Chain A
Amino acid sequence: MTWLSTSITGFGFVLLAHACYSAHEHSALHSTSTASLSSLTSHGPSVSAVAALPIDISIETIVAILTICLGLVLGTPELRPIQWRVWAGQIEREGEKGFMNGDGEVDKDYVGNPFKVLESRPGFVDIRKQRKEFAEWVREGGSVEG
């Protein structure tokens, strides 16, 4: 899905750039031609230095912007649940895996259950007990795989 949205957005930007370039060229051509014409005929103030853009350039600009919008909307990440219980349930049910992005990495702002700190309580951590438990675990033959 991502390549589709990127290609649509890219195509939209190409169209937009093309429309801008056309508009610039048109105004440059138009002003030089009117300037040379007016210098030939009279020295009065030039009438309507920039005439209206041709309709095809305007249409191209609008189409380009709509295409870019479509591409960006298609490329948005999956929406997060806005109901508390659904969101909390997703954390409990899926764990880290529910919050992976496209590259298989866990989202940076994923914290799991934010209220878990109220039970693990890092401010009151009993480091000596943890060390003892860890030493016991090693003695029982624990390893990274276990």
Chain B
Amino acid sequence: MASSLLHPPAHLSPAVALQLSQQAPYLLRTTPSAISPYSMSSLWSAAESPELWTTYENLMLSCLRTGDEQSAHLCLERLTERFGADNERLMALRGLFQEAIANDNDALKKVLKEYENILVEDPANMPVSKRRIALLISMDRTTEAITALNNFLDASPTDAEAWSELSDLYVSSGMFPQAIFALEEVLLVTPNAWNIHARLGEVLYMASSSETGSVQHLAESMRRFCRSIELCDDYLRGYYGLKMTTTKLLTTLSQSQVSRQSKSDTGLPLPGVKSVERLSELATAKLSEIVRRNTGGDAGWQGYEKPEIIAAQELLNRDAAPITR
């Protein structure tokens, strides 16, 4: 369990977060609060490790999430003692703490003002400008956040995290072409990220079902899911997406044979019905294998998340229902 304190806790389930923050008083008592570099005690005590400070940071985030502000404050104090109050990352963490304990809109505005003051002094303070954008999103000022993020990305165009955030913002405001562009930028920085390929496939799928969507989007979405599977064996999310897109693509292709020629000159040609059918069969076979092995308790197939397995089962049942009827 200690290993999960070394990773950012944002994606953890509430149960795990609660468990982590319940360990906080014990951890705070046992872990050293400060390690002085030159002293006699450094001869026999354990050497300072980067994991220690990562643990403090993640513990603080978990504690803030579960409302244990005392422990969070203690973590923050110890980090400040070690790295100094003018450390950029710590400025962002302190802001985060104040955001968490703010109980009305005025307090939030004060925090925002503080961020802006910091940024006037030092516009290159990346963690704080990210926090400012996150606070804007949290206060439902999405358009302002999008503008701020675009400015941020003008200054630092290789920040994959920011591009990914931007694409999520665009998706939430229904601007799919922009969201797709942002995700493609993420893929330029991290071309092997299989989950981002799947995410791009999902956004393309959403774009194809919006009013401006076309069958081209659907074909591209299918290709993205194929790429994510190519990068990662037995990727449940990829196969799920592949199944969804091929099913939809098959119905669309059979309806409109004529438009196939006219549209194909704008980009890659649409895939043939034969290959789409074979991909659909492959996805079905793989999905059922994953579900069967996972629910059968096969060792080495237990890493999937429960909701994902249930969703895959649901999809397979939906597919099988017309045949049995």
The 8 Å CB contact of B233, one of A86, A97, A126, A138, is: A86
* A126, B138: Cβ atoms closer than 8 Å: yes
User: What 0/1 readout, one digit per residue, does chain A (109-133) give for beta carbons within 8 Å of chain B?
Assistant: 0111101111111111111111101
* A131, B100: Cβ atoms closer than 8 Å: yes
The segment out of B116-124, B188-196, B264-272 that lies at the interface is B188-196
Say whether B300 faces chain A, with CB atoms less than 8 Å apart: yes
* A97, B67: Cβ atoms closer than 8 Å: no
For A92, what are the chain B residues with a Cβ–Cβ distance below 8 Å?
Answer: 232-236, 303-304
Q: How far is the CB of B225 from chain A (nearest CB, A)?
A: 14
A:39-96 near B, CB below 8 Å? 84-86, 88-96
For B196, what are the chain A residues with a Cβ–Cβ distance below 8 Å?
Answer: 115, 118-119
For B192, what are the chain A residues with a Cβ–Cβ distance below 8 Å?
Answer: 84, 115
The chain B residue sitting closest to A119, CB to CB, is B195
How long is the Cα–Cα vector from A107 to B140 in the complex, in angstroms? 40
For the complex, count residues of A whose C-beta is within 8 A of B: 48
For B138, what are the chain A residues with a Cβ–Cβ distance below 8 Å?
Answer: 126-129
* A124, B161: Cβ atoms closer than 8 Å: yes
How long is the Cα–Cα vector from A125 to B12 in the complex, in angstroms? 13
B:205-241 near A, CB below 8 Å? 230-236
* B300, A130: Cβ atoms closer than 8 Å: no
For A85, what are the chain B residues with a Cβ–Cβ distance below 8 Å?
Answer: 230-233
* A89, B232: Cβ atoms closer than 8 Å: yes
For A125, what are the chain B residues with a Cβ–Cβ distance below 8 Å?
Answer: 8, 10, 61, 96, 134
For B73, what are the chain A residues with a Cβ–Cβ distance below 8 Å?
Answer: none
Say whether B14 faces chain A, with CB atoms less than 8 Å apart: yes
Q: How far is the CB of B9 from chain A (nearest CB, A)?
A: 8
- Contact A88 B15, CB 8 Å, known A106-B3, A119-B195, A131-B67: no
For B303, what are the chain A residues with a Cβ–Cβ distance below 8 Å?
Answer: 91-98
Q: How far is the CB of A49 from chain B (nearest CB, A)?
A: 45
Say whether A146 faces chain B, with CB atoms less than 8 Å apart: yes
* B195, A134: Cβ atoms closer than 8 Å: no
Which of B96, B230, B300 is most buried by chain A, counting CB atoms within 10 A of its CB? B300
- Contact A95 B10, CB 8 Å, known A127-B65, A146-B15: no
> What is A's interface to B at a CB cutoff of 8 Å?
84-86, 88-98, 105-106, 108, 110-113, 115-131, 133-135, 137-138, 142-146
> What is B's interface to A at a CB cutoff of 8 Å?
3, 7-8, 10-11, 14-15, 17-19, 22, 61, 64-67, 96, 99-100, 102, 127, 130-131, 133-134, 137-138, 160-162, 164-165, 186, 190, 192-196, 199, 230-236, 300-304
25 inter-chain pairs at a CB distance below 8 angstroms, sorted by A residue, are A85-B230, A88-B194, A88-B232, A96-B3, A96-B303, A105-B3, A113-B194, A118-B193, A119-B11, A121-B161, A122-B8, A122-B61, A125-B134, A126-B134, A126-B138, A127-B61, A128-B100, A128-B138, A129-B138, A130-B10, A131-B64, A131-B100, A134-B65, A142-B15, A142-B18
